[in-house]
Amino acid sequence: MALTQRRKEFLLKIIKLYEATNYPVHYVTVAQNLGVSKWTAYDMLRELVMTGHLTMSYTVNRQERNPGRSMVLFLPTTKALNLFQTEPKETSISEEWLVLKERLLSILEKNLEKKGATKIVDDLLAEMPQIEASVPFSAYTITLLTAYLQNLEHQSLKRIKNLLPSSEEPALTLSLFAGTAVGTMVKNMKETLNQKITGIISRFQKNIAEFNLSEKKELVIFLGEALQKAIP
């Protein structure tokens, strides 16, 4: 079983978490850090066990409401640690971001091929409640809004792209994108979806206010790439 880029992303993250605590890592912790569902994380970590990069162990979680319930933990093997020992620590962070960007941009390309499809939007909405990290959540928000607009009309995306100011004001760019996108979408959405979008946008705007300049610039770059991918 090959060590794909996706598996490498998970392996880098679990190594980073292990090095921070020197303790085996619960798959839910990995899921929260990468912005995926706990089941996705569990399946991927099990695959890395099969490749010899992780080992599994069990412990009793005394903090559970039901004492005595076992937890599945994962530990990087010497094989995994040796694989990345020559790489700088910062690489894992930047590589995780690049992998996430690649995945989300790929989603927009697939959505473009299947014009009118709503499954991608539904899948994103289903994944987002599991995402705790602010930058991944914001990238998901950009992807969600862009994908939804793809399903409406491409002219809307073109108008929004032309309206956005330069990246010299990244916070303004991100806020204007969200506001304009929601304004375009609102007449086409059902009430239940409206409520979900409202909550997502509220958290997105809160994140923007808390991001440092570097994070905001990275998201503006991603926004530009997302719009470029989304427009035929």
- How many whole angstroms from its chain centre is CA 131? 7
d(CA 53, CA 75): 9
Whether 224 and 147 share a structural domain: yes
- What Rg value do the Cα atoms of the chain yield, rounded? 19
By percentage, how much of the chain surpasses pLDDT 90? 25
Whether 76 and 95 share a structural domain: no
Whether 48 and 136 share a structural domain: no
Domain boundaries, position 195: 89-230
Report pLDDT digits (tens) over 45-56: 999 999 999 999
Whether 24 and 102 share a structural domain: no
Q: Comparing 92 with 210, which gets the higher pLDDT?
A: 210
Whether 216 and 196 share a structural domain: yes
Question: Pick from 19, 175, 138: which is nearest to 84 by CA?
Answer: 19
Question: The domain that contains 36 carries what CATH number?
Answer: 1.10.10.10
Whether 132 and 27 share a structural domain: no
Provide the number of structural domains found in the chain: 2
Is it the case that residue 59 has pLDDT exceeding 60? yes
Is it the case that residue 24 has pLDDT exceeding 50? yes
Whether 49 and 161 share a structural domain: no
Phi and psi, residue 70, nearest 5°: -85, 150
Whether 132 and 59 share a structural domain: no
Mean per-residue pLDDT, 149-162: 74
Report the pLDDT value the prediction gives residue 154, as an integer from 0 to 100: 61
